[in-house]
Amino acid sequence: MRLRIVAAVAVLLLCGAGRATAQAPHHLAVHAGHLLDVKSGKTLNDQTLVVEDGKIVSSGASAEAKIPNDAVRIELPNATVLPGLIDTHTHLTMDPKFGYETLALSTSRQALTGAKNARLTLLAGFTTVRNVGAKEFSDVALRDAINAGDVPGPRMLVSGPPLSITGGHCDNNMLPFEYHATSDGVADGIAAVQHKVRENIKYGADLIKVCATGGVLSLGDNPQHSQFTLEEMKAIVADAHRLGRKVAAHAHGAEGIRWAAEAGVDSVEHGSYIDDAGIAAMKEHGTYLVPTLYLGDWMIDNAGLTRLPAPLLAKAKEVIPAARKNIAHAFAAGVKVALGTDAAVYPHGLNAHEFETMVKLGLTPLQSIQAGTVNAADLLGWSGKVGTLEPGAWADIVAVDGDPLKDITTLQRMKFVMKGGEVVKNDYSK
């Protein structure tokens, strides 16, 4: 018996020693019948991507590919392969619920909702997202759980609680005075907004979200009215940028859009009432427009399902047509565009419908795809890491049937998804 125990311990020690040594690289070879180079717009045939430890190490013609002998081969001979898609405006911890029932949702419940929505988003081909607003850092918890491998989901950059003036779009305006209800991102005045930026960063925010104007899905405010002053927004941006964080500004109204660009924010979200002055300011400062367009169709069609309160529905019916007209003008004027959906206003997993809506308003299919790949990566500060299939990028790879340059709706029917060298969906293997 003693000899058996000694032998068993020796085996365990040997196994442990084996694990402690450096493991051989894990190689994959992905053969693509067609590969869309999202930068040039060229579709290349018979290409092979070689992946090592979750990153792309080579990409080129299959005949010239140097594939390691131990590589696992993935065959996609009839598919069109693209980089993993990027959504720069999500709310994974929320669902399409806009009435008073939202007051009953705890932070813990929202984090668990986020786990569900993260999986749906990943399966839809969005391997990277920017989450711009969540209650009490529930998005930080979700990001960390995904990074730890506890739950499946896209790569996340998160903002934590969005900054808002008292009574603004991102405050809690549903309860009467005696409840003294205030959202955790509320701050008024330069000193207060500086403190809030620093607090958000302390608790894990990758970026700062600020509500620069009123909104649609909030009570008691007007989407066209600016909320933070220009001086407050300049203070927010100065602190965020000094501490290495970018700033996303919810802005519908023309003045708020212009002030946000002048303050130096990195992106304007929505942009519904953008005018020529706002377009000029955004082009001067290199500000991205994240237009969130498809939600308008879904929200109006499903207002009864989501129990959208009457005042909010009235605002939606006014804002959405104006947004379509003004954003089409901004597209034509050449503002920089990054894809964002505001998923949570409609069900997660439908994100790719945004491509089609952008094309309807004037972008070419290639421009819309670039908005959801290379442009979005640039906005996130992750150029070369995501949104591309070039060597050095994370092996985030998706595939569809057909040619998305001819039919942009093919992106709504994702067949294959790989994140960081791990296959999370492969309908071609069925």
Q: Would you please indicate which residues are annotated as catalytic (active-site) residues?
A: 209, 342
CA 255/CA 273 separation, integer angstroms: 9
Read off the DSSP letter of residue 396: -
Q: Which residue has the tokens 């980089």?
A: 83
- Residues 392 and 18: their CA atoms lie apart, in Å, by 29
Q: What length is written for the chain? A: 430
CB contact set of 128 (below 8 Å; sequence gap of 6+): 84, 85, 86, 87, 154, 155, 156, 376, 377, 380, 382, 386, 387, 396
What DSSP state is assigned to residue 420?
T
The CA radius of gyration of the chain, in Å to the nearest whole number, is 23
Helical segments of 204-293, H only: 230-242, 254-263, 276-285
- CB distance 223 to 273 below 8 Å: yes
What b/e readout covers 174-197, taking b as 16+ CB neighbours within 10 angstroms? eeeeeeeeebbbbbbebebbbebb
Closest CA to 257 of 272, 245, 241: 272
**Cα angle: 359, vertex 361, 363; to 5 degrees:** 45
> Where are the strands (E) in 319-421, listed by range?
336-337, 397-400, 416-419
Contact, 71 vs 113, CB < 8 A?
no
Looking up tokens 């067609």 gives 34
According to DSSP, residue 64 is labeled G
For residue 51, the surrounding DSSP H or E stretch is strand 43-52
